[in-house]
Structure 1
Amino acid sequence: MFSGTDLSQILLFPVKDSEARKYFLIGCAVALAGFIVPIVPYVFLFGYAAQIARQVLNGESPRMTKWNDWGILFQDGAKMFGVRMVYSLPLLILVLPIMIAAIAMPIVIENVNSSEVDTFIAIFGLVMFSLFCLIMLLSLPLALIIPAAEMHTVDNNEFAAGFRFREWWGILRANLGGFIVAFAIIYAASMALTIVTQILMATIILSCLLPFFIPAITTYTTLVMYAMIAQAYKVGREKLAGVKVASVAGQ
C-alpha cells in the first residue's frame, strides 16, 4: 500500500524547516487570494501541488520548492483542475437543482395553498433526500477515481492522459488499498482541522484568526493530499509494471 514510506515525512514536509515554512506561507497567501479572486489562485496552488506530486512519482521525498515559473504552475494546475471538474460534472449536475430548489423553496411555499403546504414539504424533503443519497453514492467512487486520473495527468504531463481510462485504471486497481488508505488519512486530517476551525469560531477573539487559518488549512491539505495520492499512484504503477514483467516472463 505505502511500502517503504514514512508517513510523517509526507504529513510534515510543508512545515518541516524554516525554508519549507517560508514557501508554505507563500502558498497560504495564494490560498488567501482565493477569497478575493475566484478559482485562479487555486489553479496556481494545484500547479504547485503537481510539482510536489512529481517529486514523489520520481522516487524523491516531498519537499517545498520555490514558487517560480508561474506560467508552468498555471498550466499544471489548469490540467489538474480541468480533469477534476470534468469528472465532477455528474455531482455538479445533481447539486445545481438542489441549490435552485433551496433558493426557490420559500417563494413556492408562499404561493401554495395552506392545505397543500405539508404535502409539498414532504415531497420536497423526499426528493432532496433521494438526491443527497445519490450524491453520496457517486462521491465515494469519485474520491478514488479523480485522484488516480489527476496523477496520470501529472505523470504524463498531458491533460488528455486523465481520460485514458484503461491506462490509469490498472494502476488504481493494482494499489486500490493504498488509494483507500490515502483517502482515509486525508479525510481524518481534514476532520481534525475542521474541529480546530470550529473551536476557533466558538470565541470572538480566536475567530479573528480564521482569515489566516483557513488558507493555511487549504494549502496544507492540498499539498499533503497530492503527495499522499502520488505515493499511492507510484506504488500502483510499480505493481502493475511487475505484473506485466511476470506475465511476459511466463510466456
Structure 2
Amino acid sequence: MNNSSGINFERAFTFMFQEDEWVMKFVIGVLMAVLAIFIIPGIILQGYVIAIARRVRNGQQPELPEWEDWGKFLSDGFAYMIAALIYALPMILLVICFMVIFLFGVAGADAGGGSEDALAGLSLLMVCCLTLFLMLYALFMIAFLFVGTVNYIRKGSIGAFFQFGYLWKELRANLGRYGIVAIAAFAASMVGSIIPIVGSLWSQYATGHFLGQLARGEVGLGNDFSETALHDLT
C-alpha cells in the first residue's frame, strides 16, 4: 500500500512474516530484546534494525537479514547509541545544572532564613521553564536523530549523525515524508506495546523498514541523493 509519499506501509508492517526462516530470525531478536538489560544485546539489536534498513535501501533480499554479521550489528548499534547519547547530552547537563542550582538555593535559604514561599515560587518557575525547554529540545533531538540515522544508513560513518546543516536541508526537503513515517512508527510502537517484547520487536523491525525506504531518497531528492541535490533545493 503506497501513497503520495512513496512509503509502502503494508510492506513495512508485514515483511518480517513473509520471508523464509522468519520465525528463527524473530526468536533470536526476542532473545536479544530480553537480554537488552545487559546493554550489549540491546546495542546488537539496534544494529540489526539498521541492517534491515540498509538492505531495504539497497533492494536486497531477504530484507530480514541473517543473524550472522554480529560484529557489524554491534558496530552499527554502538554508533547509534553514541550518537543518541551525544544528542541527549545538553538535556542531561541542563538537568544537572538545575539540580545543583536548586540545592544551593535551598541551602542558602536555610542558612539565611529566607522565605520558603519565595523559594517555592522560584523553583516552580524554573521547573516550568526547564520542562518547556526540554520538551522543545527533545522534539528537535528526535527529529534530527531520525534523519541522522537515515544519513548513517546511506553513508556508514558516525559523522553522518552530526552533519547538522545537511540534516536540516534533508528534513526540509522531505518534511511531509518524515512526518508521516514518524507517525506510523509511533503508532506501531503503541500497538506493539500491547504484547511485551514480541510486539515491541515487531515495531522495531517495521521502523527499520521505514528507515530503509526513507534512505532510498525516492521522493523530493531522487534516487541519486547527493550534497549537490540538497544544495539545489535551498
Q: How many residues get paired? A: 225
Distance 1:174 1:137 in 2: 21
Alignment correspondent of 1:232: 214
**Pairwise mapping of residues 181-196 of structure 1 onto structure 2 (< 5 A)?**
181-194=180-193, 196=194
Distance 1:44 1:156 in 2: 19
Cα contact 2:192–2:198 (8 A) shared by 1: no
Distance 2:200 2:20 in 1: 20
**Pairwise mapping of residues 1-251 of structure 1 onto structure 2 (< 5 A)?**
3-16=5-18, 19-35=21-37, 37=38, 39-60=39-60, 63-96=63-96, 116-194=115-193, 196=194, 213-235=195-217, 239=221, 241=224
* Mean Cα deviation higher: 156-165 or 133-142: 156-165
Distance 2:141 2:221 in 1: 22
Distance 2:67 2:113 in 1: 60
Which string of whole-angstrom CA distances, capped at 9 and with x for unpartnered residues, describes residues 90-143 of structure 1?
Answer: 222234456x58xx7xx98xx799994444333323222211111111122222
Cα contact 1:11–1:224 (8 A) shared by 2: yes
RMSD over aligned Cα atoms: 3.6
Higher helix share: 1
- Any idea what SS the aligned residue of 1:214 has? coil
Report the Cα offset of residue 89 of structure 1: 1.8
Report the Cα offset of residue 17 of structure 1: 5.7
For structure 2, the 5+ residue unaligned runs are none
Cα–Cα, structure 1 residues 191 and 27, in superposed 2: closer, same or farther, change >3 Å? same
Cα contact 1:45–1:77 (8 A) shared by 2: yes
Which string of whole-angstrom CA distances, capped at 9 and with x for unpartnered residues, describes residues 187-241 of structure 1?
Answer: 22333445x3xxxxxxxxxxxxxxxx43324423322223213322323676254
Q: TM-score, normalised by structure 1?
A: 0.73
For structure 1, the 5+ residue unaligned runs are 197-212
Distance 2:169 2:84 in 1: 19
Percent identity between matched residues is 24
Cα contact 2:150–2:215 (8 A) shared by 1: yes
- Any idea what SS the aligned residue of 1:239 has? coil
Distance 2:171 2:160 in 1: 14
Cα contact 1:79–1:153 (8 A) shared by 2: no
Report the Cα offset of residue 4 of structure 1: 4.0
